[in-house]
Structures are given as C-alpha cells and as structure tokens.
Amino acid sequence: MSIRDLSTRHGPGSGASASDPELGSRAGESGDREPEASASSAAAEPGRRGDRADRGSTLALRIGAAVASGLLGFLLIAQLQGTEDLGDRLASEREEDLAAILSDLSAEADRLQTEITELRLTLIEFESSAERDELALRSLRRRLDDLRILAGVVATEGEGLTLTVSDPGRRVGPELLVDTVQELRAAGAEAIAVNGVRLVSSSWFAARNGRLVVDGQPLDAPYRIAVVGPAQTMAKALDIPGGVTDNLALQPEVEAVVEVLAQLEVPPRPEPVPFFFGEPLHPETANAEPG
C-alpha cells in the first residue's frame, strides 16, 4: 500500500471527519439541546415557587379556620357541661350538704328581704318628712297671710258688714269712731277701713279744723266703715243696748245704718306702716343668757 492510500483512509475525509454531514448534524443537535434544557429549567423555577407559596397560604387559612371552629365548639361544649355539671353536682350532693346550701340560700334571701324592708322604711320616712315639710310650709304661708292682713298690706275679702254714719252737722267726734272700731275688733273683725283708709294697730283718730282725721287723712261725712269678719256677731255687738248704735243715735242729725254682706272687700294701705323704735327679737337672742 502506498502513502497516498493511507492519507485517503485516515485523512480529513475519512472516519469521523468534520466534513461528514451526519456527524455534523448529530453534533449540532447535541450542542443545541443543552442550552435549551437550561433555559426551560430556569423559566420553570419561578412558577414552581409561586405554586408552593399559594399552597402554603391556603394551608394556613385552612388550619386557622379549623382551630377557630374547634375553639368555638369547645366553648359551647364547656358551657353545656357546666350547666349539666351543676345539676349533676346538686344531684350527687348529700342531704346534709343540700341542707347547708338551702340554709345559705335562705339566709341570703332573709338578708335581701331585710334590706328591702329597710329601704321601704327609709322611703316612708322620706315621704313623711316631705309631708311634714309641706304641712309646715302651708302653715307658714297661712301665718304670713294672716300677718299681711293684720299689717294691712294686702286687700282682704270675705263676709262682713258696713256701717254707714250720716253726719251732716259734723256732730260725731273721734272718740265715737274709736269706740266703734274697738267694739268691732272685740266682736272678731279682721280688717277694717274707714272711707277707704285701712286701719292697723297703730291707727289713730283726731279732729282738726272741725274735720275728723284718721292716720293723717281727712274724713268727710258720710263715714263708711267696711269690716271683714263674722257678720252676724259684729252686727249684734253694734246693736247692744247702750252700745255703738245707741250712742250714735243720741247725736243730733246722726243716723247709723248697718248692712250685713256675704262678700265685701277691704282695700290695703298704700304703703306699710314704718316702725322707728321696735326691732324684732330673734329666738337665739331671746334665749341667750345675759353676759
């Protein structure tokens, strides 16, 4: 064999030569397959991680729901068992223990009943105190009204009478009017006015320049005396023999007429009477021992 033949068999064109189309194709396929597999593996990795995260979240939610359901069921069962246990405990107690429990409950009931009774008594006491206060207030108001009437600072109405004295010759002196007023007060008069002038405890009569004067106010005849009080009693007192009407009738041209009324009004004074020397004595001052 010649050298040329050897080169033909073992040279670039023989065996596994790169110029062999089949071998080149296989080599190319092998080289292309490896990068493709690496790229597909890298692309699939993030998807698998997301799937694992979703499956983890779903599993956690399922576990939480199961735990919550179990806890709720446990609480319901515990409550039912507690109620049943109370009945079972009472059923299993001895008679002595049941008697002790009953005694404790009875004592508690007695204590509560006592407390209720005390509260009711306190309420009654408060109500009684309120009633007493109301009665005291009414009494004070009535007393105040009486004092206002006596002071002449309020108008007064009620049954009474009028005494009208005609005196055209001005024969009636102040002493006859004083006697008339005193007689009416002794018979129970509560309010008196002469010609519209309200009389009080300090009122006075006088004669000035031939005219009668009451509390500084001049009086003109006829003199009309309006009185609130027991009408029949006062009328009888005026008509006593030798009394007011008889003394007035003894005066020339003087005539006295008494009229009993079921209702009349006596006016108040324009202003209260001032007191200059007297001062009210308070109870604490009156009871104090002299030092």
Predicted structure pTM score: 0.55
Average pLDDT over residues 113-142: 85
What pLDDT does 285 receive? Answer: 59
- 206-226 tens-digit pLDDT: 999 889 999 999 999 999 999
* Residue 21 pLDDT level (bands cut at 50, 70, 90): very low
Task: Please state, in angstroms and rounded to a whole number, the distance separating the CA atoms of residues 246 and 38.
Answer: 154
Domain boundaries, the chain: 157-266
* Residue 174 pLDDT level (bands cut at 50, 70, 90): very high
**97 or 5, higher pLDDT:** 97
- For the domain made up of 157-266, the CATH class stated in words is alpha beta
Number of alpha carbons in the 13 Å side-chain half-sphere of residue 17: 12
Number of alpha carbons in the 13 Å side-chain half-sphere of residue 123: 6
* Residue 127 pLDDT level (bands cut at 50, 70, 90): confident
* Residue 126 pLDDT level (bands cut at 50, 70, 90): confident
